[in-house]
Structure 1
């Protein structure tokens, strides 16, 4: 076979270099197109924050600050007691519903005056039911925050909450404190339906959502870091599956914060309507005034 000439070799090198350059250019163009497509998609999704959404975000931030302060101020912290009981009911509902979904059976749910709760259940998969308390309440809170961006969505959320409360009352039918707490919460939600076409309802839903979404953060910090309680869900989980209670508590808290962030982004994307537009929509969905 005859050897290649110097000229043909040089041409081959130039051809290879040109091909590589074309590929790099194509890759660069592809990245630019991808960036433009993503930007166009964001614009189509209307992820810009309008004035109504800025008010909602400001309310969420205010709720976080207020709840964090009230949670840690002696005596004044008792003002959150009814809402703490409600969020603890979400926590116990998370245990209960996952127990039923994993083949277990719920015997009872009870809340006590020391701001604690307990779900008596038989069977189920503990690897799922144990974290489902904190993560379940956080997920419910995130969904409530999402719905709190819109009046009609808040109405739907309050109906779903009513169903969850009925289930909780069924499991807690012998515990008077749980019955009173949930009955008052239902009364508050129903009352908000009849005020300004349920506009206050979304701010109540937002408050409950923020408190429920961050309940794991505050409660785990309070129990594991400040008071070192050894009977929490995370300590039992650590005993059965390894690791430390602090480690699992921090992991669950991070997941809770991610739930909340995702709910806020989804709320901004899904509900760009102004207050007046939301009020018009609310008049058409189960009108109360």
Structure 2
């Protein structure tokens, strides 16, 4: 029970003034809480209705959809709601999306090699410094991989800027549109330019030496397309030799499968990449640019490269 409710329950016997003095509560705060009770009740009813809709979508996805994808599904059915509210309601009812983790092997053990003895016998406690050392071996976004991703992202950004101009000039070819996910084929030029900037923002992260973490669903889609394109470029040995010049070689270079585990929180964007999706009507995909609540917002005044 909160303090406001306590005062409300006992005010007939002890009075609001005395109760507020005893528990250190301003009377104005209590009366404001009392006056806004109908609004809270209405909001609670709306949250209950939203929770029921979320449960249906989550169940129909076999428990795989998270906040971004459920928000998109709600928008597709005409229910305009902010992703932060969806996240709050999902936390309240104990629902979460499935986070897919692609399995990958970083070491191929030699079955004929002698086993290294466990000298510590799994006891890692140490009474004095510098007596026992513990290390971890993990894969990371290596310089060569980051360079290839940045190159791929820049090329895709330029392609999307070109497509936006073609749409503005009303001469976009079918071949140009096919380069975009099917669901985006009906979008206006400004939407395509914002997608181009999503590629550029991820490339800027790579150039700054940080992992390209998607800030919204548009960037999550863009990052997946970047990885797919980089993996295709990786098969061109001559092109790869050009990109590799001067960069250190590591065993984890071009481990594309591990990038999904490293850079993605979930797989909610996968549905947008399906070639079977019908093109959305102009303006229906604006929710893709809604900021994820887990990351700081990008500079709203950063503009466009082209």
Class of the TM-score when normalised by the shorter of the 2 chains: under 0.3
TM-score normalised by length of structure 2: 0.25
TM-score normalised by length of structure 1: 0.25
Which has a greater percent of strand? 1
Which has a greater percent of helix? 1
